[in-house]
Every structure is written in C-alpha cells, then in structure tokens.
C-alpha cells in the first residue's frame, strides 16, 4: 500500500493583518493568485513607482485601505514601510527581514 501524507494541519488559510493605527487594521490577501498579481504589478515597467505602490496596496489590502492610507498624506519612507509590511505578510516572514533586503538592494542600486 502507498504511503499517505497527511498535510491537513499544515494547510492553513490564515490571513495576516496590518494595523495602521488603533482604529484601522486590514487583512492582507495573501493568496497565491494575489501574490502573482502583485508580482506582475511590481514588474510592470509601464507604471511609475507611485502607481505601483497604490496598486499594490489596493490589491493586497483593498480600496478602503488605499483611500485611508492616502488620506494620511504619509511620507515616502512611511509608505515604503507599508509596502515592506505587505511583502513580509505575503512571504510570511518578519518585517525586519524584508527591510534588510530593501537596504541591500538600495546599496546595490547606489553603486551602479
């Protein structure tokens, strides 16, 4: 008889939550299909960086979250923190890991 692999307990559908402030938290759509879509957005050379940011926020957190975040008139640095948090949630890693990777990429970009 063939071996049976029981992975039921490993297949969770937990959705990470990003808390913007005490009154606003948003569930991250971390499905595989959404991650593929967000990757396509990131690679789309027709979009400028700010369009990409808005589209990634809307795709992962929803239109309501995008509208609220834009209403805060955050700095680029603060907005990048939100993007990094989304990427951490999609990849199920700690935010610090994504931030370290972003620093490495920025240093590599400056050397060119």
Q: Spell out a b/e string for 16-45, using b for 16 or more CB atoms within 10 Å of the CB, else e.
A: bebebeeeeebebbbeeeebebbeebeeee
Question: What tens digit of pLDDT does each residue of 37-93 get?
Answer: 999 999 999 999 999 999 999 999 999 999 999 999 999 999 999 999 999 999 999
**For residues 62 and 53, is the Cβ–Cβ distance under 8 A?**
no
Indicate the domain borders of the chain.
30-102
pLDDT value at residue 70: 98
**Distance, CA of 91 to chain centre:** 8
pLDDT value at residue 112: 54
- Beta bridge partners, 19, equal 25
pLDDT value at residue 107: 76
Give the whole-angstrom CA distance, residue 35 versus residue 108: 25
pTM of the model: 0.84
In this prediction, residue 12 has a pLDDT band, given cuts at 50, 70 and 90, of confident
pLDDT value at residue 39: 94
Give the whole-angstrom CA distance, residue 13 versus residue 63: 22
Alpha-carbon Rg for the chain in angstroms: 17
**For residues 28 and 60, is the Cβ–Cβ distance under 8 A?**
yes
Give the whole-angstrom CA distance, residue 53 versus residue 28: 15
């Amino acid at each position: 008889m063939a071996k049976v692999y029981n992975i039921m307990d490993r297949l969770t559908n937990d959705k990470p939550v990003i808390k913007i402030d005490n009154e606003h938290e948003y569930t991250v759509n971390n499905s595989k299909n959404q991650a593929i879509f967000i990757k396509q957005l990131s690679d789309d050379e027709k979009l400028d960086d700010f369009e990409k940011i808005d589209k990634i926020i809307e795709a992962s957190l929803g239109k309501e979250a995008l509208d609220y975040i834009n209403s805060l008139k955050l700095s680029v640095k603060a907005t990048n923190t939100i993007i990094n948090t989304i990427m951490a949630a999609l990849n199920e890693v700690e935010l610090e890991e994504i931030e370290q990777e972003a620093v490495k990429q920025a240093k590599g970009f400056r050397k060119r």
